[in-house]
Amino acid sequence: MTKKQDRQTIPFIELMYCLFEDAVNRGEIPPGEYSVIISKDIPPTDEEDGCLSREEIPDICEPVSECHEHDGIVTITADLYGASPEEIRYTLHHGVLYLAAHAESVIYRAAYPVEEGAAETLTRTFKNGVIEFTYKKEERRSGNVVPDTKNTNTD
């Protein structure tokens, strides 16, 4: 990595670290080790040194979002103002729904914990800048209840 790349990449690495640390502290993702691949999808525009000016670097933020459950259906909505459907990416991996979108001057990033079985029923819609994910919550099967055999009777 060159010094130019370092100057451009280090702030993003620090931001990713802070975002992951905050998400772990809020309980949104479980603690552990994560491998993060950072790629630059914005071509350099400054012909002289190939570096982006501060005005050209998009802001990275978490979208305003909401998660709720009703009648066994979980709904996650996120406001992706300015993003087009072609610029939205999502993936479901190890019980986490990862969302990324690119708008004119903003990159939206978010991670939402979901149940492991969500992939089977996950659907999404996008309308008026709002993406909505829904999935059916798995029914918890109650196992056989084993009675307490401890004798509490004192004769």
Show the DSSP H helices in the chain as ranges: 3-25
Q: What is the pLDDT of residues 41-93, one digit of tens each?
A: 555 555 555 555 556 667 888 999 999 999 999 999 999 999 999 999 999 88
Q: What's the burial of 117, exposed, middle or buried (CB within 10 Å: 0-12/13-18/19+)? A: middle
The predicted pLDDT at position 130 comes to: 96
The residue among 121 and 53 whose pLDDT is bigger is 121
Q: What is the pLDDT of residues 81-110, one digit of tens each?
A: 999 999 999 998 888 999 999 888 889 999
The fold adopted by the segment(s) 58-139 is Immunoglobulin-like (2.60.40)
Give me the chain's average pLDDT, please.
Answer: 78
* Nearest alpha carbon to residue 135 among 113, 109, 110: 113
* Extents of the domains making up the chain: 1-43, 58-139
The predicted pLDDT at position 109 comes to: 92
